Structure 1
Amino acid sequence: MKDREADVSASDAGVSGDGPSRHGGEAPRPGRQAAVRPVNGHGNGDAAQPKGKTRKRRKRRRGRKVFARDGVQLAAGGKPAESTVPVAGPAVSLKPSNPVARPEVAEQPRRMPVSDLPVFAALDLGTNNCRLLVAVPGRPGQFRVIDAFSRIVRLGEGLSASGRLGQAAMDRAVEALKVCSDKLRNRKIKKARLIATEACRSAANGAEFIDRVEREAGLKLEIIDRQTEARLAVSGCGSLVERDTDGVVLFDIGGGSSEIALIDVSRHRSPRLANHIVSWTSLPVGVVSLAERFGGRTVTREIFAAMVEDVATRLRSFDGRDRLAHVVSSPKFHLLGTSGTVTTLAGVHLELDRYDRRRVDGLWMDGTSVDRMVEKVLGWDFQQRVANPCIGADRADLVLAGCAILEAIRAVWPSERLRVADRGLREGILSELMADDGVWRRNWRNGQRT
């Protein structure tokens, strides 16, 4: 959310931070080894096999065993896992492999050692989460995550009632940011962007908190406006909008605000999806603020309906909501959600025993499936939500508020297709930092690494 190296697209960091298993703590310390699971009863699966008989099997299997620790995917022996996804065009499923053990193929372009590549970082302090990604550029439009961190801090707890950040909430956030600061100091960072969003934007003491972070954690955070937040969310999800798409409503349901961007690609498409935003809005309501006003632990159907109507009223005042009217009825139109709400529903839909980003990110859900999942979660009491491995205690009191925001969005832009994105602002930041720095133009010539 990890001392690991993984190829990811500039809009697709291999680790995001919205599912319960991703909230976990820090990455393993450098040099820490992941426990190796015995294969066929032996501590070392390859060593136990007879020579000659399994040579091909060993080659296929070598480097593919991946173990999870604190939401970090590590290859056997503690080696980082690798994932690759293109920034634009059809999404490719993430397939773990071991870049160290995989044999080189003569036709493949050579890979520059990670130590020789410029390092970029993106930090997002939101109303609910604190998340960090550190990455190096890969193939054009891709990057490799070499470190990351994610922790729920609930910085916006109590903000909707008091208008101020609470002391305990600020303390939690500062402690998480100190971890991020340590990680950044251990790297030679070429460029970084450290942002704070709605909680710091709207709190009366938001600027004071930013000063405290600089004093105590040594990080200078930038409070971004809502338009920038919407643009970065779009930049982070570019590869999930396929080439034959006409239009998309992308939404990011946050803790204190929800960003919605209408994207029209029916006429042409440039490399930056954010260039095609025709209208956007930022609702000053998110899962934390909505749950605090209506209650999150005990949610009756009447309370849920009231939450949906609260959000729907805000959407009715959005003047640009009809800018995609010419494509909404097209089969090439769909919704794209990037938030803990949609990733949680996707995990419930897949009946996962443990949240798995590789199965969730890029998943398509039809309207009937979304209806069924919302109804299912609405029918659970608080303890049943806690018991679900894709919700857990951290989200049990927030998930229905997120579902209410989702339902209000679906009512305005009805679509039979919803695509789930486990990615967001940090991926968008890294995409823009690397593109603006020109790393892909400098490091590649005619498809070869230079």
Structure 2
Amino acid sequence: MIQDQLTPTQEDLETLSRQLGRPVRDVVEIGARCVCGNPLVATTAPRLGNGIPFPTTYYLTHPVITSAVSRLEAAGVMAEMTARLEQDPELARRYEQAHEAYLQVRDEIGERTGTGPVPEIAGVSAGGMPTRVKCLHVLVGHSLAAGPGVNPLGDEALDGIAEWWTRERCYCEGAWPTDGPAPARDLSRHTKTQGLSAQELDRKRAARRAALEAEQGGQAPTMETNENTKTRVAAVDCGTNSIRLLIADVQTRGGVTELTDVVRLMRVVRLGEGVDATGRLSPAALERTFAAADEYAALIREHGAEKVRFVATSAMRDAENSEEFSAGIRQRLGVTPEIISGDEEAGLSFAGATSVLGSSDGTRTLVVDLGGGSTEFVLGTSDGVLAARSTDMGCVRFTERHLVSDPPTEAETAVARGDVLDMIAQVLETVPLAEADRLVGVAGTITTVTAHALRLPEYSSEAIHGTELSVAAIDDATRSLLQMTRSERAALPYMHPGRVDVIGAGALIWQTIVDRMAELTDGRIDSAITSEHDILDGIALSAVR
């Protein structure tokens, strides 16, 4: 493409903003155009205007192409391509060449646009190149920008979407809104809080609230002045891998509901062990779970909890003998386990995570609750949940299904990653992940990955809670955990014994989600916040209501 066609006009930038549904940013060129002249692919500088390195040079903007490529991803094409790279040396060689070409062009773009070298991403391209396929949108964008014959898998994907889009005709009419002004509100979020303590994060939030009050003439939002009576509740979250107890005092102050921990415990019982294969809860798993329930019942009585809610999730939804489990819990705790739907599970996770990390400024938060048998994706604001999806992937399920070697082989991790990407593609059918402004991860896998990234001398909730890790830091922590043997993982001072066998799969799932969110948001999300407050806190809050 000649330079005049590469250089974006003001009209191009407005079209890109309409296509994306948000203000476009840091676009330096138009990588490819429709036959009518509208942009198909945006080219981004290798370093964003705020200084953040950005490896994804090309990304699709045209809604018709984006939707078509998502259909391919949902059909499992990426896992198939990754497997072929393992089996076909010639394809692997050509894909490696595509990776090198991508890096060379990105360097040229950096030089051409004044960005210069970006050493932080040296040797790192995008889309999974050069060894795997983790984003077809990136590969298709590369093929459209570079032309046929450069990226073999991008070319294949273009052939695969020919039923819905081809280069030869225009699909722009009606593909994006054209009435009214182009989106102008910048939803980007690049505030760095990595390494800050929970107290420091609280101070930052207080400063933001004070600034908001100042903008409103010094008037704080109207709030109730009467404090509600304090209520002591017990919440139990029984998942596929662990069973957790929270006894807390719940009190409303000035319209804000607060939780104060009295007891917070976790026992790894592996209730879902073998359910994926047999469809039943095993006697040994039930025995371990009931022993933990006996311990929790004694603590609930000792601390005088007025209300108890027991929530059971993925493994119980799948088990044929779930009534045996329910009867045992009723006998011990006097309450019937609620085998909640994936949607309610997602809503409780969001309420728990955002009880301390939420904001009132309309920020869209994606909460990911990564469990043993399921992972919930919940998009919402301080006003509530906007969209949610529960998926059948988790650290126990994926360990049993994929990562059977010690340590896992590259082939095992590639297939597992492909399955995660397939799950994300399914989530995209109902949850607009690209609209998220920030990413929050909850549950034991994510807190353990965070502890590993921070290299803590011991597990410390205070050090972990509120930590914001970059995409690169999460990638590094995951690679390290996947390369370790079981005995090496067991020796880590922050590793719970019950997570030793399954942390590799859990870390892989989390890494893939974080990487994909960075790509879907065009780098707007370049980090993830870890929260120690999750579905357990949401259950406690719901017990009062």
Which one of the candidate residues 379, 404, 429 is aligned to 2:539? 429
Matches within 5 A, 1:49-448: 90=205, 117-138=230-251, 140=253, 141-216=257-332, 218-238=334-354, 239-243=356-360, 246-263=363-380, 265=381, 269-270=382-383, 275=384, 277-296=385-404, 297-320=406-429, 323-325=432-434, 327-328=435-436, 333-414=437-518, 415-434=525-544, 436=545
Deviations 1:8-52 (A, max 9, x none): xxxxxxxxxxxxxxxxxxxxxxxxxxxxxxxxxxxxxxxxxxxxx
In 2, Cα distance between the equivalents of 1:394 and 1:85? 31
In structure 2, what residue type is equivalent to 1:426? L
1: CA distance, partners of 2:433 / 2:397: 29
With over 3 angstroms needed to count, the CA separation of the structure-2 counterparts of 1:431 and 1:353, relative to structure 1, is: same
Task: Give the gaps of 5 or more residues in structure 1.
Answer: 1-82, 93-111, 437-450
Helix, strand or coil at the partner of 2:205: coil
Q: Distance between the aligned counterparts of 2:372 and 2:493, measured in 1? A: 20
Q: CA RMSD in A?
A: 2.7
Q: Decide whether the 8 Å contact of 1:365 with 1:418 is kept in 2.
A: yes
Q: In the TM superposition, what is the alpha-carbon distance from 1:409 to its structure 2 partner?
A: 1.6
Letter in 2 for 1:367: V
Q: Which has the higher contact order (CA 8 A, sep 6+)?
A: 1
The offset of 1:88, in angstroms, is 12
Over alpha carbons, which structure has the higher Rg? 2
Tell me the SS of whatever aligns to 1:213: helix
Deviations 1:38-90 (A, max 9, x none): xxxxxxxxxxxxxxxxxxxxxxxxxxxxxxxxxxxxxxxxxxxxx99999993
Amino acid paired to 1:262 = L
C-alpha contact 2:235 2:543 (8 A) present in aligned 1: no
Question: Separation in 2 of the partners of 1:365 and 1:286?
Answer: 21
Q: Secondary structure at the match of 2:378?
A: strand
Write the distance in 1 (CA, Å) between the matches of 2:542 and 2:204.
18
Q: Is the 8 A contact 1:386 1:396 kept in 2?
A: yes
Identity among equivalent pairs (%) = 28
CA separation of 1:91 and 1:171: change in aligned 2, threshold 3 A? farther
SS of equivalent residue, structure 1 residue 285: coil
Q: CA deviation at 1:315?
A: 2.2
Q: CA deviation at 1:176?
A: 0.3
5+ unaligned residues in a row in structure 2: which ranges?
A: 1-197, 208-226, 519-524
Deviation at 1:411, TM superposition (A): 4.0
- What is the alpha-carbon distance in structure 2 between the residues aligned to residue 370 and residue 432 of structure 1? 32
Whether contact under 8 Å (2:249, 2:262) holds in the other structure is yes
State the alpha-carbon separation in 2 of the partners of residues 419 and 363 from structure 1: 6
User: Structure 1's 119 and 322: CA in aligned 2 closer, same or farther, altered over 3 A?
Assistant: closer
Name the CA shift for 1:424/1:88 in 2 (closer, same or farther; >3 Å): farther
Query: What is the TM-score with the length of structure 1 in the denominator?
Result: 0.65
1:168-219, CA deviations, whole angstroms, 9 ceiling, x for partnerless residues? Answer: 0000000100111112223433222111111111101112211122235544
Q: Return closer, same or farther for 1:237/1:89 CA change in 2, 3 Å cut-off.
A: farther
Q: Aligned-pair distance for 1:390?
A: 2.0
Q: 1:136 to 1:165 in 2, by over 3 A?
A: same
* Equivalent pair of 2:457/2:493 in contact (CA under 8 Å): yes
Task: Using the TM superposition, give the Cα deviation of residue 298 of structure 1 relative to its aligned residue in structure 2, in angstroms.
Answer: 2.9
Aligned in 2, Cα 1:91/1:336: closer, same or farther, shift over 3 Å?
farther
Distance 2:312 2:340 in 1: 6
Aligned residue identity for 1:120: V
* 1:409 to 1:381, Cα distance in 2 relative to 1, 3 A: same
Change (3 A) 1:86 1:197: farther
8 Å Cα contact 1:89-1:240 kept in structure 2: no
Contact 2:235 2:247 in 1 (8 A): yes
CA distance in 1, matches of 2:326, 2:199: 35
CA contact 2:316–2:339 (8 Å) conserved in 1: yes
Amino acid at match of 1:237: A
- Residues 319, 144 of structure 1: alpha-carbon distance in 2 compared, 3 angstrom cutoff: closer
